[in-house]
Amino acid sequence: MDMKKMMKQAQKMQLEAARAQEEITKMEFEATAGGGMVKVVAMGDMSIKSVTIDPEAVDPEDVEMLEDMVMAAVNEALRSATEATNQRMNAVMGGMKIPGLM
């Protein structure tokens, strides 16, 4: 394969990967726990946008349960964001792992 052609293809792939990563950071991933009593929205950049807690979930006698629901919802939202990122980047990169891009 021609070296120039390979470099051009690598640059194109790098641009596509950067575009995909930019799209991903703007995506929102929602997860709930406790039958919807806790809702978390995470962004594709792995930041948490919001946490909503149903007032019925607040039991001063059982704070641990609320903590567990928040943790479960956060972990699920972040897992969804990670999975979507991996799928999108694999589609762009064709499964190739290039240092500095992924």
Q: Categorize the per-residue pLDDT at 90 as very low, low, confident or very high, splitting at 50, 70 and 90.
A: confident
Q: Is the confidence at residue 102, as pLDDT, over 70?
A: no
Q: Flag whether 45 is in a domain.
A: yes
CB neighbourhood size of 32 (10 A): 17
Q: Flag whether 65 is in a domain.
A: yes
Q: Flag whether 46 is in a domain.
A: yes
For the chain, report the end-to-end CA distance as a whole number of angstroms.
24
Q: Flag whether 81 is in a domain.
A: yes
pLDDT tens digits along 29-79: 999 999 999 999 999 999 999 999 999 999 999 999 999 999 999 999 999
Instruction: Specify the pLDDT at position 92.
Output: 81
Number of domains in the chain: 1
Q: Write down the pTM of the prediction.
A: 0.76
CATH number at residue 34: 3.30.1310.10
Provide the domain limits for residue 39: 26-93
Instruction: Specify the pLDDT at position 88.
Output: 87
Q: Which residues pair with 33 in a beta bridge?
A: 38
